[in-house]
Amino acid sequence: MSPFELLDYIGTAVFAISGALAAMRRKFDPFGVLILASVTAIGGGSLRDILVGNTPVGWMIHWNYLIIIFCATLVAMLFRTYLSYFRKTMFLFDAIGLGIFTIIGVEIGLNADLHPIICIILGTLSASFGGVLRDILCNEVPLIFHKEVYASLSIIGGIVFYGLLQTSLSININYVITSCLVVTLRVLAVRFRWILPKIYKEI
Amino acid sequence: MSPFELLDYIGTAVFAISGALAAMRRKFDPFGVLILASVTAIGGGSLRDILVGNTPVGWMIHWNYLIIIFCATLVAMLFRTYLSYFRKTMFLFDAIGLGIFTIIGVEIGLNADLHPIICIILGTLSASFGGVLRDILCNEVPLIFHKEVYASLSIIGGIVFYGLLQTSLSININYVITSCLVVTLRVLAVRFRWILPKIYKEI
Amino acid sequence: MSPFELLDYIGTAVFAISGALAAMRRKFDPFGVLILASVTAIGGGSLRDILVGNTPVGWMIHWNYLIIIFCATLVAMLFRTYLSYFRKTMFLFDAIGLGIFTIIGVEIGLNADLHPIICIILGTLSASFGGVLRDILCNEVPLIFHKEVYASLSIIGGIVFYGLLQTSLSININYVITSCLVVTLRVLAVRFRWILPKIYKEI
């Protein structure tokens, strides 16, 4: 298993957990919990693959993704009480997934010979779309539109990842740096309520 | 016309009727009724074809689907009063569509050489996504998230259909058995309020 | 730059402005304004390209679309007060986009050798889907389901455009005629509250 695959599996698992936690908070039945976990985990990657034209989409070919989602959902259900000792657990899992899927999206874009700017946007899309679907299905305002910065961190992560790719740095170290950067920024953003300045006039 | 095509046309028609009935209950204008009927009827199949990579998607190539939707919508409009003599009509049409599109999704997955488990998931997706779209556009909680079992029946249908495919049973009899099984289970599920057990602890 | 490209760029810009105006009315942060402008501008075209199988979708290959969206959003932010001197500005930009994207959708369908009726539906889909996404993300009832005729005008535009294509008329004149027709009809529809007759019995 390559470090890239490992990363992809971790991202899938954490997004699945974040989806499962959101579903349990809403008292969905076990099957609904599994659906929401799946949608959160593979929604962004599916959109990415569809937009680029990589069909059948990833999880249909390598079905170990589904096994991972199934196990992650089970873990989330069984250890729910333990997970919730940490406040805002879901938010942290969501942040890890945001960082990891940004990287994967950028890499897949580069493999498809797309322009670097498009690759960064693709990374942001695939990192945030699963969470947007999760929030819409839970009938909540998507995190992405919340006051604190969110998707912009994915853009920063994408730029840093692409920048480091141009250096002689090992790709695995690049993976670690970019993921940690995005998670750290997201934690800081929520902790200190970073918001984007309004640059237009309200009327 | 092969039995497979016939099945597909029937599924399209019943889903169109279920969408049209939902739209009329919401007092949409005739064009809105047609749109909702179309979305319900071809939403699941479009997602299926997009995920697998069968593009242009089915209804764009074989446009008799659109004729069927148009006629089914007209029938639903003209005979609305008769249809509503039967209580919960929409629910029954929805159940028939659920059974039929499960079968079609599984078959298309097998034709694309996907793993049987993926095929069953594809069947469930294509069977339930049209209805999810219909409910979202009507601003209702999707049937799929209701208390009674719904999508799980599609999974059972997919497993039974795939299992019978491995026997020497005629495919046409398999179509009939699987469809009837799903419809029967769905009726029983609603009648006796079957729900999935909660396996996680509420907090 | 061909007249066709020019048309596409104008359509992208006006839809971006309509999305940006809707987002500012909802007090989104600048990044949210940019996202909503982008979704409105490229949502319909992306769906069109995905359904037909033209992947990677348009804006991923020709990334000048993104530059246009960025500039249009900036213009909308900076000149917001001026734009709002004209009442219902957003509605007008939306109408122009509706006309232009109908034409582009029909042309792309014809290039993919689809049946004329499918091409007209493709035009309507790609013209209205961006606006539907915009309205859903803003948590409003999609314009398309409003009382006044909307998507039906896109169908009329598609039919007129296809009809004129069969004549010896220059394609550029056809572009102008069809766009103006759709915009005029939409203005009249809103002004005089055109609604479709209900042809089914209410119960």
The predicted-structure confidence for B56-82, as pLDDT tens digits, reads as follows 898 898 888 999 999 999 999 888 877
State how far the Cα of C24 lies from the Cα of A44, in Å rounded to an integer.
Answer: 26
State how far the Cα of A123 lies from the Cα of A129, in Å rounded to an integer.
Answer: 10
Contact C144 B35 (CB under 8 A): yes
Contact B15, B76 (CB under 8 A): no
Q: Does A197 fall in a domain?
A: no
Q: How many domains in chain C?
A: 1
CB neighbourhood size of C165 (10 A)? 15
Residues of A within an 8 Å Cβ radius of C: 50-53, 55, 112, 114-115, 117-118, 121-122, 141-142, 144-145, 147, 149, 151-152, 195-203
**Token reading at C120:** 């007209």
State how far the Cα of C120 lies from the Cα of C105, in Å rounded to an integer.
Answer: 7
Contact C123, C154 (CB under 8 A): yes
Contact B203 A60 (CB under 8 A): no
Contact B52 A30 (CB under 8 A): no
Contact B50 C51 (CB under 8 A): yes
Three-class SS of residue B115?
coil
**Token reading at A96:** 């890890």
Suggest the residue from C126, C145, C196, C202 to mutate for an interface test with chain B (most B CBs closer than 10 A). C145
pLDDT band at C123 (very low <50, low <70, confident <90, very high): very high
C-alpha distance from A54 to closest chain C C-alpha (Å): 9
Q: Does A64 fall in a domain?
A: yes
Contact A77 B200 (CB under 8 A): yes
CB contacts of A56 in chain B (<8 Å) are 51-53, 112, 114
pLDDT on residue B68: 95
pLDDT on residue A194: 77
Contact B114 A60 (CB under 8 A): yes
Helices and strands counted in chain A (H then E): 9, 0
pLDDT band at B24 (very low <50, low <70, confident <90, very high): confident
State how far the Cα of B141 lies from the Cα of B70, in Å rounded to an integer.
Answer: 26
Task: Point out the least confidently predicted range of A150-159, C43-52, C133-142.
Answer: C133-142
Task: Point out the least confidently predicted range of A121-135, B28-42, B173-187, C134-148.
Answer: C134-148
Predicted TM-score (pTM) of this structure: 0.86
Contact C27 A117 (CB under 8 A): no
Average pLDDT, chain C: 85
- Chain A: residue nearest B148 by CA? A29
Q: Does C143 fall in a domain?
A: yes
pLDDT band at C121 (very low <50, low <70, confident <90, very high): very high
Closest CA to A18 of A36, A43, A42: A36
B vs C, Cβ pairs < 8 A, gives 58
User: Tens digits of per-residue pLDDT, A163-176?
Assistant: 999 998 888 899 98
Choose among B24, B35, B46: nearest Cβ to C51.
Answer: B46
- Chain C: residue nearest A52 by CA? C56
Contact B5, B107 (CB under 8 A): no
Range of the structural domain that residue C71 is part of: 3-191
CB contacts of A26 in chain B (<8 Å) are none
pLDDT on residue B193: 78
- Ranked by mean pLDDT, which of A88-92, B191-195, C126-130, C154-158 comes out on top? C154-158
pLDDT on residue C47: 93
* Mean pLDDT, range C103-114, rounded to an integer: 93
Q: Does B169 fall in a domain?
A: yes
- Chain C: residue nearest A147 by CA? C29
A vs C, Cβ pairs < 8 A, gives 60
Residue B47 has pLDDT above 90, yes or no: yes
CB contacts of C117 in chain B (<8 Å) are 63, 66
Q: Does A202 fall in a domain?
A: no
- Chain A: residue nearest C85 by CA? A203
Contact C44, C125 (CB under 8 A): yes
Contact B80 C201 (CB under 8 A): yes
pLDDT band at C44 (very low <50, low <70, confident <90, very high): very high
CB contacts of B77 in chain C (<8 Å) are 199-200
State how far the Cα of A116 lies from the Cα of A120, in Å rounded to an integer.
Answer: 6
Contact A98, A89 (CB under 8 A): no
Contact A50 B52 (CB under 8 A): no
Residue C2 has pLDDT above 80, yes or no: no
- Chain C: residue nearest B138 by CA? C141
pLDDT on residue B114: 92
Residue B102 has pLDDT above 80, yes or no: yes
pLDDT band at C63 (very low <50, low <70, confident <90, very high): confident
User: Tens digits of per-residue pLDDT, A33-86?
Assistant: 898 999 999 999 999 999 998 888 988 988 889 999 999 999 998 888 776 665
Residue C199 has pLDDT above 70, yes or no: no
Residue B15 has pLDDT above 60, yes or no: yes
Three-class SS of residue A195?
strand
Q: Does A196 fall in a domain?
A: no
Q: Does C14 fall in a domain?
A: yes
Q: Does C24 fall in a domain?
A: yes
**Token reading at A35:** 């659906």
User: Tens digits of per-residue pLDDT, B157-174?
Assistant: 999 999 999 998 888 899
Residue A110 has pLDDT above 90, yes or no: yes
Residue C71 has pLDDT above 90, yes or no: yes
C-alpha distance from B139 to closest chain C C-alpha (Å): 9
Choose among C53, C144, C201: nearest Cβ to B56.
Answer: C53
pLDDT on residue A26: 82
Q: Which residue has the tokens 């769906």?
A: C47
pLDDT band at C191 (very low <50, low <70, confident <90, very high): confident
Residue A132 has pLDDT above 70, yes or no: yes
User: Tens digits of per-residue pLDDT, A92-106?
Assistant: 778 888 899 999 999
| Sequence letter at residue B185 | L
pLDDT on residue B4: 74
Contact B144 A27 (CB under 8 A): no
Contact A105, A119 (CB under 8 A): yes
pLDDT on residue B146: 61
Q: Which residue has the tokens 């499962």?
A: A20
C-alpha distance from B108 to closest chain A C-alpha (Å): 12
